[in-house]
């Protein structure tokens, strides 16, 4: 696209915190994190997930998070839902709170590009994950929710190695056919490089319009910002990022968090790309604060530099 407007999807409270092993962050802190991110100018903040607490204890209490955030009109608070059971939990929440949509109006679903990763993540292979996901998408849309899809391990799989772009294209295409309005390409492992991101986007856009794609880059090898810029050069206008570079991946040993929101905002502010009104100093402060809750320093280089001034 020719528009220079870029939507940053803040995934720290979900993708970030779900993967932090050091500490389970209490619900109250998760709520404060989301509210602070919105006050800093983030307009899409993934708020949590309705997954099994046995699998992901970090995301227990997401219903309580949605009930207690300072919901702001115009801001979207998507939640990740892996199966019909998770969607039922969300449906119950709407019944308890008939003042919807002040909880959320968006669900995110996810499917891995490889069978091995899919099994590790959701206990079934890609075909079955797609079938289950189709049910979730249909149910969510029936509830009047919009649905965003993720494809995971789009460049490298921790179990199967290099992933052929054609496999990602197939999964992305199916997510769109199910009714996802957008597909986020998840570079889960964080080893992908700009030339690989370009080849991937060129392949996927044979079936999915570039306007429907988002880039989701982990920063393990320090390629996060470079990959964001490459995706933008390819015409992608939505990118996922996590404040403080929060996260990792339990099924991808050594993988670090998402590219830091601070780093993406710093790279783009003043560039001609319009990320909206975002308070970078506030983001850096939030990144340091939430990292301190986890007993460490912020992973964002921009955050550290700004905090040191």
Catalytic positions are: 249
C-beta of 77 vs 110, nearer to ligand HMG: 110
Instruction: Pick from 10, 13, 14, 15 the residue near Mg ion by CB under 5 A.
Output: 15
Sign of CA dihedral 254, 27, 55, 228: negative
Segments in the chain forming alpha helices (H): 17-18, 27-39, 62-68, 84-96, 115-122, 126-142, 165-178, 194-204, 224-233, 261-268, 280-293, 301-308
Rounded to a whole number of angstroms, the minimum distance from the CB of residue 15 to Mg ion is 4
152 binds ligand HMG (CB under 6 A): yes
| 179: Cα within 13 Å, side-chain hemisphere | 16
Q: Whole-angstrom Cα distance, residue 141 to residue 147?
A: 7
User: Across the chain, which distance is largest between two alpha carbons, in Å?
Assistant: 51
Question: Could you tell which of Mg ion, ligand HMG, none binds residue 122, using a CB distance below 5 to 8 A set by kind?
Answer: ligand HMG
Point out which span in 117-125, 274-282, 283-291, 298-306 binds ligand HMG (CB under 6 A): 117-125
Point out which span in 25-33, 63-71, 81-89, 287-295 binds ligand HMG (CB under 6 A): 81-89
DSSP state for residue 61 in the 8-state scheme: T
> For residue 242, what are the CA distances in angstroms to 8, 122, 290, 293?
10, 23, 11, 15
C-beta of 171 vs 275, nearer to ligand HMG: 171
Number of residues that bind ligand HMG (CB under 6 A): 24
- Which residue, chain included where needed, has tokens 């802190």? 29
146-152 sheet: strands from edge to edge: 44-45, 7-10, 238-241, 213-217, 182-187, 146-152, 106-112, 79-80, 48-49
How would you classify the pairing of strands 161-162 and 156-157?
Answer: antiparallel
Instruction: Pick from 43, 58, 156, 188 the residue near ligand HMG by CB under 6 A.
Output: 188
Rounded to a whole number of angstroms, the minimum distance from the CB of residue 158 to ligand HMG is 11
Angle, CA of 160, 124 and 80, to the nearest 5°: 100
Point out which span in 82-90, 171-179, 203-211, 281-289 binds ligand HMG (CB under 6 A): 82-90
Instruction: Pick from 7, 29, 52, 307 the residue near ligand HMG by CB under 6 A.
Output: 52
261 binds ligand HMG (CB under 6 A): no
54 binds ligand HMG (CB under 6 A): yes
Rounded to a whole number of angstroms, the minimum distance from the CB of residue 153 to Mg ion is 10
56 binds ligand HMG (CB under 6 A): yes
Contacts to ligand HMG by CB under 6 A: 15, 18, 49-52, 54-56, 80, 82-83, 85-86, 89, 110, 121-123, 150, 152, 186, 188, 216
């Amino acid at each position: 696209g020719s528009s220079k407007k870029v939507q940053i999807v803040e995934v720290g409270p979900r993708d970030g915190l779900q993967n932090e092993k050091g500490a389970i962050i209490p619900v109250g802190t998760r709520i404060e994190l989301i509210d602070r991110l919105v006050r800093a100018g983030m307009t899409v903040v993934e708020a949590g997930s309705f997954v099994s607490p046995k699998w992901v204890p970090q995301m227990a209490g997401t219903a309580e998070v949605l009930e207690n955030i300072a919901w702001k009109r115009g801001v979207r608070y998507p939640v990740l839902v892996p199966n019909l059971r998770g969607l039922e939990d969300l449906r119950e929440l709407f019944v308890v709170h008939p003042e919807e949509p002040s909880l959320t109006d968006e669900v995110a679903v996810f499917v891995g590009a490889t069978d091995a990763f899919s099994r590790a993540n959701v206990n079934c292979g890609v075909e079955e994950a797609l079938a289950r996901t189709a049910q979730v998408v249909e149910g969510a849309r029936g509830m009047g929710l919009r649905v965003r899809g993720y494809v995971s391990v789009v460049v490298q799989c921790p179990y199967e190695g290099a992933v052929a772009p054609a496999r990602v294209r197939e999964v992305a295409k199916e997510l769109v056919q199910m009714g996802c309005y957008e597909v986020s390409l998840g570079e889960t492992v964080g080893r992908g490089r700009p030339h690989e991101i370009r080849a991937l986007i060129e392949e996927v856009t044979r079936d999915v319009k570039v306007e429907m794609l988002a880039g989701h880059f982990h920063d393990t090898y320090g390629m996060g910002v470079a990959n964001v810029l490459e995706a933008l050069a390819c015409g992608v206008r939505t990118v996922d990022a996590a404040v403080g570079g929060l996260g990792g991946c339990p099924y991808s040993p050594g993988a670090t968090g998402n590219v830091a929101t601070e780093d993406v905002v710093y790279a783009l502010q003043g560039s001609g790309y319009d990320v909206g009104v975002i308070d970078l100093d506030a983001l850096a402060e939030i990144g340091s604060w939430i990292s301190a809750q986890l007993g460490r320093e912020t992973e964002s280089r921009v955050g550290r530099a700004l905090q040191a001034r």
